[in-house]
Structure formats: C-alpha cells, structure tokens
Structure 1
Amino acid sequence: MGRFLAACVALPVLAACGGADGSTARTEPGADGGAGKATPAAEGAEPTRSTVKREMRRAIDAGGFERPRFVDIPESDITSGCVMVAQVRTSEDPEEKAVRTVVADLKKSGWSQETGWFEDYGSLWSLKRGEWMLDVMTGSVTEALAADAPPDAPAEETQAFTGMIVTAIDHECARAAVASAKASPSPSPN
C-alpha cells in the first residue's frame, strides 16, 4: 500500500483542472454555516472547481476528520489548475466506517461510485461526476518510501504520511491544458 499511496500523493503531476464557473450548480448553506446540500439546479450540472472543493470539505467533515489541507500544485505542472488534492493526517489508518461516510456524502452530492475497496493496508474509492474524477485514498507512506520522492518534490511528499488523501481531477481541463502545451512550442535554450 505504501508505494500505491506514495504514487497517489504525486498524482497531480500526472493529472488534470478546475471547470469554468458557468455552471448552474448552487449549494444552499447548511444550518451550521457549512456548504449545505446541492439544490435541484445542481443535479446533472457539471460542477465547478469551487463546488468540488466545497463537496470535498463537506464529505471529509461528515466522516469526522479534521479540516483538510489542500496541497499546492506547482505552477510548472501544466495541469495545476485542473487538480485539487486534500490531505488529512491521522495518527492511525482511518477507520472503514469513517471512510465509507465520506464516500456516502459524496454520493449524496451527485458523485457516482466507479470502484471501491477497503483492505487492511488502506482503501481506494473512485467516483465520477461529469468530467471530474475523485479518488478517496487511505493508508500510509513510510519514511523510506517518502525518501524516494524526486529531488524537486514538494516538502509534503518527502515526509512519512498516514491518513486520507482526496484527489479531484477535471479531465476536460487537463485535456485542454495538455493540448495547449503541445500547440505552444517551448522556447529553446540559447
């Protein structure tokens, strides 16, 4: 599981971007001032980047976890605007019931489950909504695996980690970012 989660921590470098804000999806504030539930106008609508982030936070909160830390994706990654990564550190591997609550909350927001499994060493749940893919992963990355991170990796990728990582990728945005990069020739070194 360690190598699997380590690869997933680095996933943004390989991945995708946030949608344009033209969606009709809206959320109503919850009684506690939180993000609330999606209104009927949101059903079937392509979610915006801010909607996905709000749903990630709300689901993580529903599972009883601490507030997530959203990882900064380096701007040098052409898909940096297409990916969001939330990390929640825990002292032990997250409990199955809490992770299932996170997934259930996402499903209530309109995400459909593509895959999901829970093993002794961690879990992976993949959900889809429009062009967005969202992965909920749990487990541990040992210090030895973290030490294998590339030299230019962000500091959080070079440290041991136990907890949950939620990654959201807008595939339409990623395809556009990659196509744009291919169409724009890189300046040649002189």
Structure 2
Amino acid sequence: MFKTDILKYKKYSGKSSLVLLLTTQGLWALFVYRSSNYIYKSKLPSIIKKPLLLVSIIFQKWIEIVSGISIPYSCSIGHSFYIGHFGGIIINSNAIIGNNCNISQGVTIGVSGRGNKRGVPVLDDNIYIGANSVLAGNIKIGSNCVIAANSLIIDNIEKNSTVIGVPAKIINNLGSKGYI
C-alpha cells in the first residue's frame, strides 16, 4: 500500500519518488506506519513479532519527535493516504480510515465521549480533513465528505457532506470531488 501513497504524493507534487522520500515528513510517517502495521498484522511467531514491534514503536516515537505525526501501528488506514503538511497530527490506535483520504496539519482523530458515544471515529473512503480539525468519539464519517478547517466533529456525518464549525454542521452535499 505504500506504493499507492507515493503515487498520490507524486500526483500532487510532480516530484520524483526519491525526492519525496528524502524530503516529505508525511511519507516518512507513512513508511514507518505501513512497515509496522505489516508486522502487527503478520502471523509471525510471538518470539519474533514482539521484538519487531518494539523496534517499530521506537521508530514511531522518533517520527513523532521529528515530524509531529503520530500514527500507531495498530490503527487501520486504507491505500492512497495523503498527509498535506506535517505537524500536530494525532491518530488514535483504534481509528479506522478508509481509502484515498487526505488530512492536513493539526488534525486529531481520537477517542472521546461518554456511554455509547465513547469510542473512536470510523472514516469511509475519499474524505478530506482540513487543518486543525478534531474528529472525536464513536462516530462514522461517510464516503466523499469534506471537513472544513478548524471543525469539531462529534456526530455521524452522512456521505457526500461538507461540514464546518464547532460543532460541525452540514453546509452542502457536494462531496469531496476536487479536494482529493
């Protein structure tokens, strides 16, 4: 899946894979995530898997320090993931993110809520998340949604919706085409 991440970065930037790999913090974080997630999901014997995951955690923490991007190996992220700018990105270890999604700097996808609202977001495919947005709690974000910058999402969002505000409200149903 890392190949689809690189292809998406190349599409947006027009730069070579080598230049992107050397200069793009989002790709560094995705590489560590994809490698660690592969180990996490593997059927390796525990005696091999646990030391490899320990090394993965060390690399993940290093990436967090260098780039400000926290993507735990146990979360689930689909293909063609794009991090627009580095810094301040936190994804919960139980979060589920679909295919072909874009996130910007300062985004938090985390646990929150009380009772049956307590939990972690599940995001479908083709979602754009603007800078400094927070998605928190046991919520589902439908496919093709746009979440405007500085929005707080604490409720389910129907597919093809554009939302904005604190808490976020639907402003139209034009979807994410043109944003992804």
Q: TM-score, normalised by structure 1?
A: 0.27
Instruction: Select the structure with the greater relative contact order (CA < 8 A; seq sep ≥ 6).
Output: 1
Give the alignment's TM-score, normalised by structure 2.
Answer: 0.28
